[in-house]
Structure 1
Amino acid sequence: MVTIYDIAARANVSAMTVSRVINNTGRISEKTRAKVKRVMEELNYVPNQMARSLVLQQTHLLFLLIADITNPFYTTLARGAEDAARKLGFRLLFGNSDENGDKEQEYMDTLLKMRVDGLLVAPAGDASLPHLETLRRHQVPFVLLDREVPGVESDIVLGDSKEGARQLVRHLSENGHRRIAMINGALTVSSARQRFEGYKEALKLNDLPYSEEYVLETSFGPRADLSEIDRWLGRMDPLPTAIVAGNNVLAVEVIRTLNARGLRVPEDISLVCFDDLASYAEIDPFVTVISQQAYQFGYLGMQMLIDRIRNPEEAGPWKKIVLPSELIVRRSVKAVR
């Protein structure tokens, strides 16, 4: 393996001079710089990235930790984050917590050992607080995506979950629905809390009844066993005329459970949800959704993170971006009398 000492000997300069050429530091004449680079090419020298990082105190390596890689919202978000990172000269690694706090902690421990320059994270839930405090103690910049964590101050990119839920319930109400149920993620996740609050507020604003029997709190992530949803449907008497799903993964699972019971959407039960179902195009009918700007979540979050890394003294107060969403009406809601 070729070392900087081999290059120094061939170029007749000091090892320190070679190091300065590699890291683009110090004052070196253009003639000497060109000579060292020519010798590096002749010897096919590849710089040791880890050693270089120790000198510069920067790896140009970032990490994106998302909550559910199977969710089309997060895959599109990841695309936006990667595009922004590459444009700004950084490389991006990915991790998936599966909505699991223990798995999230394992990733946090790993990225601290890797000396990444910063982290974009969609936290697993409120219990992520100590994980994020550890990052703060180690001075690792981070930006939260999609979810807040009480007690954590940071840059953040959010959607307006409460307003989105209100729009979905209002749309169902305008189509004559009065028995509207909701299946949602755990209320220890801020986006699930806000969607539940929006659901209840919209029921009240539209003079619709609220019943705990019509609400199922579960996980936003996918599951192989749909029995929990099936038991929930079996407990409701009478069945709702419409269901609001807290995200697209839950919407797909509701459709599968209803199909197993011989019920159709929207003929028997109407369905609406958060986030589009691009990866589930085979499911018919297409679902009415609140569509969020998933790509912009990742792109803007990455820009904020890199700004903190490059200009820590000039970045100013923590920034909070709330991206508006859009109601896309398709064929999953049946008008009722």
Structure 2
Amino acid sequence: MVTIYDIAKKANVSPMTVSRVINHSPAISEATRLKVEAVIREMDYIPNKQARGLVSKETKLVSLVIPDIANPFFTTIARGAEDKALQSGYQMLLGNSDEQTDKECRYVDLLLSSKVDGVLIAPTGDASLPNLRKLAKRRVPFVFVDRYVEGIDADLASGDNVETTRELVAHLAEQGHRRIALINGPSGISNARERRQAFLDALVLSGLEACPELLIETHFRQDSFSDIVRTFMALAPAARPTAIVAANNFIGVNTLRALKEMNVTVPDEISVACFDDPEPIPDYNPFLTVAAQPAYDIGYMGMQMLIERIEGTAPARSRKIMLPSTLIVRKSTVKA
């Protein structure tokens, strides 16, 4: 691999001179610059960004750490974040924590050693606090996307969990559903807490009672919901839910699968609505009624806020941007 020292030897200059040419220092004559650049092209040299960072104090590297790369919602966030990073002259490193705090910790350690300029992160949950404190201690700017952790003052770009949940519940209530279930993520994740509380508040606004047996907490990535659905269907007919709100797209799709396995027809026997808009599901009819979050815009805005932090153009106080969702009524919800 060609190094800065190879370039210096070939051009008959010092390694520091080569470094200054790479970093566009004005303290280099035009003749020297042209000579060094010619050698760089001849030897097909790609500058090492960390070496450049020793001079510029910036690597022009940012990172996005998300909890589930298999989830189309986070994939779309990544696309928005990357597009904004590239537009602003940064390159983005992607980390996937798999909803595992220890894996997230390893990524944070790697990013610190790589000297990235900043981190956009959707934390695994409240247990991410020590990982975030590492970034804060090293003064690495970071911005939350989709989720946040209590006790950490940082910018946040997310969907509007409260209003979105209210819209989903209001839609089902308007359809005449009186017993609405919620299949939610873990309470240790901020957006799951917000959705649960908003769900309870929305029931009150619609004049409905909250039924503890219809409030289920599970993992956002769990593959099988057979036990959950079986529990619902084991209730007395009058006590069963007539509609289910799924707290993300994986929960929504897997709930449909579990209902199909039990020969429970959607929407004739039960309606289903969910957060996010999953990929098309060719084996399932009807399509899901969803509250589609603007995932691309969330990623784009989150990266914009991060770059403003890096470049010192952000306000002193932290900012929270919550983007509205779009309710898309399809065939999985009907009148009770």
Classify the TM-score, shorter chain. Answer: over 0.9
Extract unaligned runs of 5+ from structure 1: none
Which residue of 2 is the match for residue 221 of structure 1? 221
Distance 1:208 1:146 in 2: 29
1:51 corresponds to which letter in structure 2? A
Whether 1:54 and 2:54 are equivalent positions in the alignment is yes
Root mean square deviation, CA, Å: 1.9
Deviation readout 1:263-319 (Å, 9 max, x if unpaired):
01101100111111125354321111111110001001111111111226x643212
Which residue of 2 is the match for residue 151 of structure 1? 151
Which residue of 1 is the match for residue 288 of structure 2? 287
Q: Check the 8 A contact 1:213/1:235 in 2, yes or no.
A: no
Deviation readout 1:78-118 (Å, 9 max, x if unpaired):
11111111111111121222222222222212222222221
Distance 1:95 1:229 in 2: 31
Query: Residue 111 and residue 279 in structure 1: after superposition, are their counterparts in 2 closer, same or farther (change >3 A)?
Result: farther
Distance 1:5 1:246 in 2: 55
Which residue of 1 is the match for residue 304 of structure 2? 303
Distance 1:9 1:97 in 2: 43
Q: Any idea what SS the aligned residue of 1:280 has?
A: coil
Deviation readout 1:227-266 (Å, 9 max, x if unpaired):
4324432453332110111111101111111111110110
Q: Any idea what SS the aligned residue of 2:192 has?
A: helix
Query: Residue 45 and residue 229 in structure 1: after superposition, are their counterparts in 2 closer, same or farther (change >3 A)?
Result: same
Distance 2:302 2:88 in 1: 13
Q: Any idea what SS the aligned residue of 1:278 has?
A: coil
Q: Any idea what SS the aligned residue of 1:18 has?
A: helix
2:228 corresponds to which letter in structure 1? I
Which residue of 2 is the match for residue 247 of structure 1? 248
Q: Check the 8 A contact 2:165/2:198 in 1, yes or no.
A: yes
Q: Check the 8 A contact 1:146/1:158 in 2, yes or no.
A: yes
Q: Check the 8 A contact 2:277/2:291 in 1, yes or no.
A: yes
Deviation readout 1:193-239 (Å, 9 max, x if unpaired):
1111111111111111211001111111232x434324432453332
Which residue of 1 is the match for residue 65 of structure 2? 65
Q: Check the 8 A contact 2:226/2:259 in 1, yes or no.
A: no
Mean Cα displacement is larger for which, 152-161 or 23-32? 23-32
Which residue of 2 is the match for residue 274 of structure 1? 275
Mean Cα displacement is larger for which, 11-20 or 300-309? 11-20
Deviation readout 1:120-163 (Å, 9 max, x if unpaired):
11111112111101110011111101112110101111211111
Deviation readout 1:31-58 (Å, 9 max, x if unpaired):
2211221233334433333322333222
Query: Residue 15 and residue 128 in structure 1: after superposition, are their counterparts in 2 closer, same or farther (change >3 A)?
Result: closer
Q: Check the 8 A contact 1:157/1:322 in 2, yes or no.
A: yes
Counting only pairs closer than 5 Å after superposition, residues 5-24 of structure 1 correspond to structure 2 as 5-24=5-24
TM-score (norm 2): 0.93
Q: Check the 8 A contact 1:216/1:232 in 2, yes or no.
A: no
Q: Check the 8 A contact 2:168/2:273 in 1, yes or no.
A: yes
Which residue of 2 is the match for residue 97 of structure 1? 97
Which residue of 2 is the match for residue 233 of structure 1? 232
Distance 2:184 2:304 in 1: 31
Distance 1:4 1:245 in 2: 55
Distance 1:65 1:3 in 2: 31
1:187 corresponds to which letter in structure 2? S
Query: Residue 228 and residue 25 in structure 1: after superposition, are their counterparts in 2 closer, same or farther (change >3 A)?
Result: farther
Q: Any idea what SS the aligned residue of 1:283 has?
A: coil
Q: Any idea what SS the aligned residue of 1:271 has?
A: strand
Query: Residue 235 and residue 54 in structure 1: after superposition, are their counterparts in 2 closer, same or farther (change >3 A)?
Result: farther
TM-score (norm 1): 0.93
Q: Check the 8 A contact 2:145/2:156 in 1, yes or no.
A: yes
Which residue of 2 is the match for residue 25 of structure 1? 25
Query: Residue 194 and residue 5 in structure 1: after superposition, are their counterparts in 2 closer, same or farther (change >3 A)?
Result: closer
Q: Any idea what SS the aligned residue of 1:335 has?
A: coil
Which residue of 1 is the match for residue 259 of structure 2? 258
Counting only pairs closer than 5 Å after superposition, residues 102-117 of structure 1 correspond to structure 2 as 102-117=102-117
Identical columns (%): 51
Query: Residue 258 and residue 51 in structure 1: after superposition, are their counterparts in 2 closer, same or farther (change >3 A)?
Result: same
1:10 Cα shift?
4.4
1:26 Cα shift?
4.3
